[in-house]
Structure 1
Amino acid sequence: MVIREVTGRRPQEVLAWSRDLLEPAMRAAADSLSGTMRLIAGYHFGWWDEQGEPTDADRGKSLRPTLALLAAEAVGGDATAALPAAVAVELVHEFSLLHDDVIDGDATRRHRPTAWSVFGRNPAILAGDALLTLSFEVLATSAHPEAKEGMRILSSAVQALVDGQSLDVDFEDRVNVDLTDCLGMAHGKTAALIGCASALGALFGGGRPVQVDHLRAYGHEMGLAFQLADDLLGIWGDPAVTGKPVHSDLRNRKKSLPVVLALTSATAAGKELFELYQGDQPLSPAEAVRAAELVDQAGGRTWSQQQADDRLDRALRRLRAAHPDARAAAELSALARLATRRDH
């Protein structure tokens, strides 16, 4: 007997399938918002411009809701049963992006002006608050038997996300940040919600507790790999791909994982980078170029890629431990590899 490997759909096909399922449910949820909040949210989602006219702007990859939908299938459930979970995690993610852009002062997101730069800081913050509240309402009104447990899981992830964001902000004013601190920030700011997405999907798909736990861990480890890869993109990514200016993280003196590794490396390059990172004004373009060279010379680039690869391996081991449906497992594996590539 010939045993054929199950490969599933390509990642881009899976993401397109997820967006087709997700968008009507997201629009239905957003329609419950007030006029101004709905306008800002829809602009941020890429549905329309600042006047509310439809547009074909970049709407993001929808990674987290896709994980929720696939996790439901991985435990033998129907993806549509996990739609409330998918909508909830995407609303939380978009809430965090609205606030992040204000906190970081970023002027562009997904290749166009950020919501705060169009509508103002305070309206953008309030729109983020509205999305966060809406995420819990979506779960509460889903009539799913696991809605209460889903809200508990989501609440825990939001608390971790906020703690991680708080650490990220705190790092801006701290002279010394070590790798333990920086990894702790990544566990909260990024990995917690990605782990939550796959856990909620498995829960709403009818998974057993052990499957929910393994899929949460799969998502969490994938989230750490994703953050490491994203930090690399924040320094060396192509603006045409990232939607942000080249060296944007360095120009803002951001203490990302590759930078912190370099700063704590006790190398000549690390010491020069430390001196360059002093001050409170953005680095000039030339200084940012030099900072990127120093991070690389101090080992930050190589270390981050190695760590991303290791976390991806851990994620895939936890995925296999959940004994998932073969096609969903193949698609979750491919999606994890796509999300943690440096050139996407």
Structure 2
Amino acid sequence: MSTLDTSSTGLRALPSPGTVRSTVLPLVRQHVSALEPTLARICSYHLGFVDEHGDPSGAASGKLTRAALMTAAAEGVGLRPEDVRSPAAALELLHNSTLVHDDIIDADELRRGRPAAWKVFGPDLAILAGDALQALSLQIVVDDTGPGRAEISSAFAEALRLVLAGQSRELTARLGPGADIAEYHRIVEEKTAALLECALVTPALRAGGAEHVLGALRGAGRHLGLAFQISNDVEDIWGDPAVTGKPVRGDVQRRNPSFPVLAALDAGGPVSERLRALWHGDGTTAAHLQEMADLVEEAGGRRTAEQRSRGHLDSALEHLGRAGLTPAATAELTALFDRIVNRTA
């Protein structure tokens, strides 16, 4: 029977979030602990394993979103969670490498409700720690002896290339006057969606999936990334820092052209022009940020962003439905998609 045959796997119990955590985190800890001691300490701090003194910590280690997506997708193509344990751990390491670097680039002082790694250990060592997580991720997939190793390694390398390209484009757009929604989409497809695509596609590569399955999963990951990022942009301006673990309106303060801002600027009219004048000014006080947030909402940027996020989530689910996964896995991934975009858990 083909590994993609769903006739006998549709009722298989899917792993719980706790099972994903208990399966993936020990492997992440094992690999991180083998790094050079200083880098191991910084990476362990960022991941929530230890505090700034190196003592065991009860801090959150992230939601393991990408590992959960990969594990559910694995069930959907007839694999066991153990079959993707190594690439799931590797993808979480790769994702966290981007977070370490993002915090430095954005000068964000908080990550998951506590000081970011660069604030505790300095930017130089934090940069190296992020690099170490990238190298470790790629080493894990190269050393993994499971089926499809070459294809999975290539997928990881491509995902990393896209993330770096998207980060570069974002910095260029932030500094230049020509940012628009089309460029925003390209940045998100590279910087955010690439790792989500990798999470969904890796199990199909391991199972030797047909090209139409791979294409459907890539499309699901791409639209999921857009839905999530646009929702995240809304949250940055109007969200609760207690939920996000980061200060509110950081993108506005940095003049990072997020989707609600771009939609508001694109709307035209006096409100949009007032926003444009403030956006290109240098005001960063709480009053300036509040006024810009109010103008974005008045110009329709928030409403448009929320509608667009829902539209991309619907598109992600449509692509998921075309992948031919087991009914149980499709249901689990549908719920995961909703939680990722809407932070319902």
Could you tell me the TM-score, scaled by structure 2's length? 0.93
Q: Equivalent residue for 1:57?
A: 59
Q: CA deviation at 1:280?
A: 4.6
Matched, 1:149 2:143: no
SS of 1:264's partner is helix
Matched, 1:108 2:110: yes
SS of 1:340's partner is helix
Q: Deviations over 1:39-64 (max 9, x none)?
A: 00000000001121001101111111
| Cα distance change of structure 1 residues 166 and 66 upon mapping to structure 2, 3 Å threshold | same
Q: CA deviation at 1:206?
A: 4.8
Contact 1:224 1:308 in 2 (8 A): yes
After superposing the two structures, state which structure 1 stretch, 294-303 or 207-216, moved more: 207-216
Q: What CA RMSD, in Å, does the superposition of the two structures yield over aligned residues?
A: 1.8
Q: Deviations over 1:71-127 (max 9, x none)?
A: 111111111101111112111110100100000000000000000000000100011
What residue identity is the alignment partner of 1:78?
A: R
Q: CA deviation at 1:210?
A: 2.7
Q: Percent of counterpart pairs with the same letter?
A: 38
Could you tell me the TM-score, scaled by structure 1's length? 0.93
What residue identity is the alignment partner of 1:48?
A: V
Q: Equivalent residue for 1:319?
A: 320
Contact 1:76 1:206 in 2 (8 A): no
Aligned counterpart for 1:257 among listed residues 250, 256, 259: 259
Q: CA deviation at 1:167?
A: 1.1
Aligned residues: 336
Q: Equivalent residue for 1:341?
A: 342
Matched, 1:332 2:333: yes
SS of 2:34's partner is coil
Distance (Å, rounded) in 2 between the aligned partners of 1:20 and 1:243 = 24
Q: Equivalent residue for 1:190?
A: 192
Distance (Å, rounded) in 2 between the aligned partners of 1:205 and 1:233 = 37
**Runs (5+) with no aligned partner, structure 2:** 1-9
Q: Equivalent residue for 1:296?
A: 297
Q: Superposed, which structure 2 residues align to 1:8-157 within 5 Å?
A: 14-157=16-159
**Runs (5+) with no aligned partner, structure 1:** 1-5
Distance (Å, rounded) in 1 between the aligned partners of 2:76 and 2:87 = 15
| Cα distance change of structure 1 residues 144 and 328 upon mapping to structure 2, 3 Å threshold | same
Q: Deviations over 1:163-193 (max 9, x none)?
A: 1111111122112311111111111110111
Distance (Å, rounded) in 1 between the aligned partners of 2:140 and 2:70 = 15
Contact 1:78 1:205 in 2 (8 A): no
SS of 1:56's partner is coil
Q: Superposed, which structure 2 residues align to 1:240-279 within 5 Å?
A: 240-279=242-281
Distance (Å, rounded) in 2 between the aligned partners of 1:150 and 1:60 = 24
Distance (Å, rounded) in 1 between the aligned partners of 2:65 and 2:242 = 19
Matched, 1:161 2:163: yes
SS of 2:53's partner is coil
| Cα distance change of structure 1 residues 225 and 9 upon mapping to structure 2, 3 Å threshold | farther
Distance (Å, rounded) in 1 between the aligned partners of 2:222 and 2:281 = 34
Q: Deviations over 1:211-249 (max 9, x none)?
A: 233222212211111111111111111010001112222
After superposing the two structures, state which structure 1 stretch, 110-119 or 180-189, moved more: 180-189
